Structure 1
Amino acid sequence: MKKFISVIILLACSLMALGQNDPATKKLLNDISKKYQSYRTAKIQFSLKALNQQKQTTVNEKGELTVEPRTNKYRIVLDDQVMISDGKQQWHVLKEEQEVQINDVEETQSGSITPANIFSFYNQGFKYPAAKSEQVAGKALWVIDLTPTDNSKSYFKVRLRLNKSVNQIYDVTVFDKSGSLYSYTIQNFIPNVKVSPKTFIFDKADYPGMEVVDLR
């Protein structure tokens, strides 16, 4: 009986440990977040890779993110779309559709991982084990697998890799429940660049002939 009780206690303790976040990993994430929030502005070049395993298709794209970390203002430029936010609302310019969609920022980022929140999405709503080490192209990385606490999310895991030498995000890979993979890789990160306030404001004159649709 005593042996049986000891096994039950050990199992219970193991389950509790599984539900807790690793303290060392939490510190790594906190340090990354604090460093990012310390910047007045940042300009980031990134690459996006989307792999649809059902259709056996791969899309590769490059983009640029200009951001004010403390105000959540940003401008994302991709090949066929532009996303502009003043911290409260987002203008989504769809070039092929000749349309501009206006949404509240909270709606656009709810449950999604995008270039706009790639440096902050992990602050809440995830559980994670101890980080592992990995070498990629001569770079020493921390590898952290984050699992969403909300099972209704469209993805079941997010892999975050951190560059040890510069204490910065290397890439983020989202594992979708459909079998698709989405990867954001940081190609270049320039902090505290001079940015015009107009960068984060939508000017209809810059997009003549486009229909503006307010979805708020």
Structure 2
Amino acid sequence: MRKIKISILLLAVSVFLTVASFETRAQGDKKATAILDAMSSKYQKVKSFKALFTYTPEGGKPLKGDVTTKGTKFRLKMAGQEIYNDGKLMATYIKETNEVNYQDFDPTASGDLDPTKIYSAYKKGFKYVFVDEKKVGAQVLETVELTPTNKNSQVSKVQIQVNKADKSINNWKIFQKNGEKVTYKLDQFQPDVAVADNFFTFNAKQYPGVEVVDLR
């Protein structure tokens, strides 16, 4: 089964449940900590959300994606795949092959794949520093760079740009150790959307002939 690497640290930004300890906070400089904590506080007040984003691999064309979350549940669509997570079971549907992959959801192992933790991902497992502040159009963007403390991480660093005025996430760029780079631009964010729980459960009846691969 073909499976892409979906890295959403922060909109994941893992925007999207980790409580930061004093030792964790000490891993960032004061400027970076203030920016990330303000951003995190803004999104933690949201009980559910829907976000539209554009992701662009370096040297590739821009592609669209969207994510909806509610508590620990999420539904993510990008790169020809759609991931359903009801908090217990995760189903990855591949449109090209009409195939779905079922696996138990382990919140401790979901890592970058968990969009419900985008805004708090930085609080555990990263060192972070303030990079710069730039005016882009009518916005002033603050850039913070995160570096994983886990040497086995496939990510070498992440750069997040936050709107200085309202502390909303503008974009983030992921640098992988294999040299690949992907930029995610947040196009639209709808907080506290009304969404039923069954929206996060894959319904095979809606996909005639779908091949089921059960990895549980």
Contact kept, 8 Å, 2:73 with 2:86, in 1: the verdict is: yes
**Structure 2 residue runs without a partner (length 5+):** 1-25
- In structure 2, do the counterparts of structure 1 residues 79 and 158 end up closer, same or farther at CA, with 3 Å as the change threshold? closer
1:86 matches 2:86: yes
Corresponding position of 2:64: 62
Residue 112 of structure 2: SS of its match in structure 1?
A: coil
Alignment of 1:12-51 (within 5 A): 20-51=27-58
Q: Report 1 or 2 for greater relative contact order, CA contacts < 8 Å, sequence distance ≥ 6.
A: 2
d(CA) in 2 for partners of 1:175, 1:158: 6
Contact kept, 8 Å, 1:76 with 1:116, in 2: the verdict is: no
Runs of 4+ displaced beyond 2 Å: 103-121
Identity over aligned residues, as a percent?
Answer: 34
Residue 202 of structure 2: SS of its match in structure 1?
A: coil
Corresponding position of 1:160: 160
Root-mean-square deviation (CA), in Å?
2.2
Contact kept, 8 Å, 1:157 with 1:176, in 2: the verdict is: yes
Shift of 1:43: 1.0
Shift of 1:117: 4.1
Contact kept, 8 Å, 2:74 with 2:115, in 1: the verdict is: no
Letter of the 2:64 counterpart: K
Letter of the 2:45 counterpart: S
Paired residues, number = 191
Residue 129 of structure 1: SS of its match in structure 2?
A: strand
- In structure 2, do the counterparts of structure 1 residues 113 and 145 end up closer, same or farther at CA, with 3 Å as the change threshold? farther
Q: What are the Cα deviations for residues 5-34 of structure 1, in whole angstroms up to 9, with x where unaligned?
A: xxxxxxxxxxxxxx8421332232222222
From the CA coordinates, give the structure whose radius of gyration is larger.
Answer: 1
**Structure 1 residue runs without a partner (length 5+):** 1-18, 52-56
Shift of 1:121: 2.2
Letter of the 1:143 counterpart: T
Q: Structure 1 length as normaliser, TM-score?
A: 0.79
Q: What are the Cα deviations for residues 31-80 of structure 1, in whole angstroms up to 9, with x where unaligned?
A: 222221211211111011112xxxxx414211111111xx2211112352
Corresponding position of 1:137: 137
Contact kept, 8 Å, 2:74 with 2:86, in 1: the verdict is: yes
d(CA) in 1 for partners of 2:79, 2:148: 30
Q: Structure 2 length as normaliser, TM-score?
A: 0.79
- In structure 2, do the counterparts of structure 1 residues 26 and 88 end up closer, same or farther at CA, with 3 Å as the change threshold? farther
